[in-house]
Structure 1
Amino acid sequence: MADDPELPATRRWPHMLRLVLFVAALLTLFYLVAVSKVIDPAGVRAAVSATGPAAPLVYVVVSAGLAAVFVPGPLLAAGSGVLFGPLLGTFVTLGSTVLTAVIAALLGRRAGRDSARVLLGPDWSARIDSQIQRRGLWAVVGQRFVPGISDALASYAFGAFGMPLWQMAVGAFVGSAPRAFVYTALGASISDLSSPLGYTAIAVWCITAIIGAFAAHRGYRGWRGRREGGPLPGGEDRPTPG
């Protein structure tokens, strides 16, 4: 006998409770770290600088862990610029960003993937798997360009939907490269933001913000068109039911 795709409430509520607790834990971390600011980035920089030649590798690991609990990425990237300068600092920031994406996606997968699939059902799960296979990498890249979205929170969500870790790593590296340079360069030039490096960083930030806003708008229009039976990519109208 085939399984009923609609799970009874007695089988759904444990998965719903698990996802609610997972989201509540993330929001609590976000409030404590990003709003209440219980972690002092300056103290972290001082502790890392005391490790000497190992400081870049130490900062990659420490910064990745802090970003995974929602310490703002721009602050961590700026700290990398202060400690290591614009060139090495950018690579340190990128290494930390990739590691954060993998950590958050892995935790999201372990905590929420099974429950998300049960609640979505087999049809929607299959659709999501198909979209991940076709566009997963570019979804991660595009998210990194959209301003105002927490990279860590997005990585948790990607993981909960089953995004492969290699897509998370490659997508985070490619999509975060411009902003990694921007915030690291601003940190390196904090004493003189009117320097050419500071102006370059601001220009790159403006360009990436425009690209991200355009990509988000286009993605939203495409999603809305597919949902409402809008025009096909070739310009032809979709057939309406009935």
Structure 2
Amino acid sequence: MARLHARGVTPVDTSDDEVKPGRRPHIIRLAVLAVFLLGLYYLIGVARILDLEDIRGAVAATGPAAPLVYVLVSAVLGSLFVPGPLLAAGSGVLFGPVLGTFVTLGATVGTATIASLGGRRAGRDSTRALLGAQRADRIDALIERGGLWAVVGQRFVPGISDAMASYAFGAFGVPLWQMMIGAFIGSAPRAFVYTALGASVGDLSSPLVYVAIAVWCATAIVGAFAAHRGYRGWRSGRTGDGDSPERDT
């Protein structure tokens, strides 16, 4: 090393090369998890290999316990990427708009719990290893301050799979209590919308349908605004990092 400095040659830092092989198992682990979840999403959410009518019939056959059974079954199915609107509509068909909305919310919280625990178990350590200690600590601090409202905001943004987001939140270490409360608060409007539409499937001209559509539109507007504001915040954060002294030097 001294000879290199004497000759004016800057030594090559091989610390990154020493770290990269250690990161490879974590990258592979997260890639396998992503492929598994995407495959599950395709089979359940796109190919629809499950017959929801048969499931609803089996739940209805349980009698007075049907609401609780449907909460448990829907929670598991939701974590397996069965589309939430279909499960909520089924709740409306079985239990009506009022009880069905609470059943849907219970199932939604259950799905968030299962998916979050799965994401934490499968990807938390690897995510921290790839981010590095400093970045992981900064993200933990951000989650501690606003993780709950991040979960709430995600539920308002249309087009994002709640189950997939819950797996991701779990991998990033969002506490379980934030997932449960955030899922309950953020999912309440859409839970009512899809459950009400399911309960009104035989009479699409009822006032309840128009109320549900109005709530859905309001939720979509709020979600779009939240997504735009979050994107601007992310952009400003990137700009701030780019202006740091470390980057300038």
TM-score, normalised on structure 2? Answer: 0.90
Pick one of 208, 212, 219 that aligns with 1:197. Answer: 208
Pick one of 206, 217, 229 that aligns with 2:228. Answer: 217
Pick one of 52, 58, 62 that aligns with 1:47. Answer: 58
Query: Larger deviation: 80-89 or 38-47?
Result: 38-47
The C-alpha deviation readout for 1:183-230, integer Å capped at 9, x for no partner, is 000000011111011110000000000000011001101110121139
Alignment length (residue pairs): 233
The C-alpha deviation readout for 1:79-134, integer Å capped at 9, x for no partner, is 00000000000000000000100100000000000001001101110111011001
SS at match of 2:147: helix
Aligned to 1:157: 168
- Aligned amino acid, residue 27 of structure 1: L
Query: 1:175, 1:132 → 2: CA distance?
Result: 17
- Aligned amino acid, residue 112 of structure 1: G
Query: 1:205, 1:194 → 2: CA distance?
Result: 16
Asked if structure 2 preserves the Cα contact closer than 8 Å seen for 1:60 and 1:93, the reply is: yes
Which structure 2 segments of 5+ residues have no match?
Answer: 1-14
Aligned to 1:140: 151
- Aligned amino acid, residue 227 of structure 1: R
Query: 2:213, 2:18 → 1: CA distance?
Result: 51
TM-score, normalised on structure 1? Answer: 0.92
Greater Cα radius of gyration, structure 1 or 2: 2
Against the structure 1 CA distance between its residues 10 and 92, is the aligned structure 2 distance closer, same or farther, given a 3 Å change threshold?
same
Aligned to 2:77: 66
- Matches for 1:61-140 after TM superposition, within 5 Å: 61-140=72-151
Query: 1:110, 1:228 → 2: CA distance?
Result: 33
Moved over 2 A (4+): 4-7, 238-242
Aligned to 1:234: none
- Aligned amino acid, residue 188 of structure 1: A
Identity of aligned residues (%): 69
Asked if structure 2 preserves the Cα contact closer than 8 Å seen for 1:6 and 1:121, the reply is: no
The C-alpha deviation readout for 1:162-194, integer Å capped at 9, x for no partner, is 010000000000000000000000000011111
CA-atom RMSD in angstroms: 1.9
Query: Larger deviation: 8-17 or 127-136?
Result: 8-17
Query: 1:14, 1:43 → 2: CA distance?
Result: 41
What's the offset of the Cα at 1:56? 0.3
Query: 2:18, 2:176 → 1: CA distance?
Result: 29
Query: 1:137, 1:241 → 2: CA distance?
Result: 35
What's the offset of the Cα at 1:9? 2.5
Pick one of 63, 67, 89 that aligns with 1:56. Answer: 67
What's the offset of the Cα at 1:6? 8.0
Query: 2:198, 2:16 → 1: CA distance?
Result: 53
What's the offset of the Cα at 1:5? 8.5
